[in-house]
Amino acid sequence: MREDFWHERWKNNEIAFHQNDFNPLLQKYWPDFSLNTGDTVFVPLCGKTLDMLWLAQNDFHVLGIELSPIAISDFFDENDLQPKKLIRDGFDIWQLNNIEIICGDFFDLEAQHLNSVDAVYDRASLIAFPLDMRNRYVEHQEKVLPGKAETLLITLEYPQHEMNGPPFSVIPDEVNELYKPWQQVVQLRRNEILDKVPRFKEKGLTTLIESVYRLSPLVR
Ligand SMILES: C[S@@+](CC[C@H](N)C(=O)[O-])C[C@H]1O[C@@H](n2cnc3c(N)ncnc32)[C@H](O)[C@@H]1O
């Protein structure tokens, strides 16, 4: 997806992907990650997800990256937070206490920007990209993420011919193919959720499966 696509979505408030509550799968699986108070959680393609607030309230340092300044501004405004804005390495950064959101393109991040990252939370980020960009996204992650960072990944699967993405359908075989060169991939859950998401039924989907994975870097 080109940047313009996402800027238009935010401008027109076409953000059905946004959830008005904390993600229950984050709440369920995050405590199993071996993390310490104050560890940094990277949230790629963060939008204005409330999950950043949940992570911050649970004493993690949150580092998000998001293309749209509207999303970032909404995140702070809607949660009654007044961030300060700074510029670092050419990126606009919005920061308050233990939440820092970089306004920019994920693909412009370098290892030096992420060297404090201890874990990654990816909900609706991998699946926001079409196939060629998913390959690029994972290759770039491998380049810029510290070797120790585990990931909680949440994906969707459905017959791709029934709907155009995003979100794109990403099956377990693809997750394995994408990550296996550098991550151990463990599927934690795989559930049919179509009945809970009427907007996808209305678009003609006959099935919608949500999966949760834990990705752990291979020791090299
Ligand atoms: C499907 S939304 C998911 C947002 C968030 N993860 C959530 O769960 O609500 C994808 C987000 O990624 C942003 N985005 C798309 N491409 C990006 C890129 N290359 N770099 C940074 N953000 C990007 C979009 O603006 C959009 O807010």
Whole-structure pTM value: 0.98
Distance (Å) from CA 35 to ligand 1 centroid: 25
Q: Could you give the percent of the chain with pLDDT greater than 70? A: 99
DSSP one-letter string for 127-144: GGS-HHHHHHHHHHHHHH
Of all protein residues, whose CA lies closest to atom 3 belonging to ligand 1? 124
DSSP one-letter string for 139-161: HHHHHHS-TT-EEEEEEEE--GG
The pLDDT value recorded for residue 1 is 62
pLDDT tens per residue, range 97-128? 999 999 999 999 999 999 999 999 999 999 99
The pLDDT value recorded for residue 220 is 64
Distance (Å) from CA 43 to ligand 1 centroid: 10
Distance (Å) from CA 44 to ligand 1 centroid: 7
What letter represents residue 177's amino acid?
E
Atom number, ligand 1, closest to the C-alpha of residue 68: 25
Atom number, ligand 1, closest to the C-alpha of residue 49: 9
Distance (Å) from CA 97 to ligand 1 centroid: 22
Is it true that the peptide bond before 181 is cis, omega within 30 degrees of 0? Answer: no
pLDDT tens per residue, range 65-103? 999 999 999 999 999 999 999 999 999 999 999 999 999
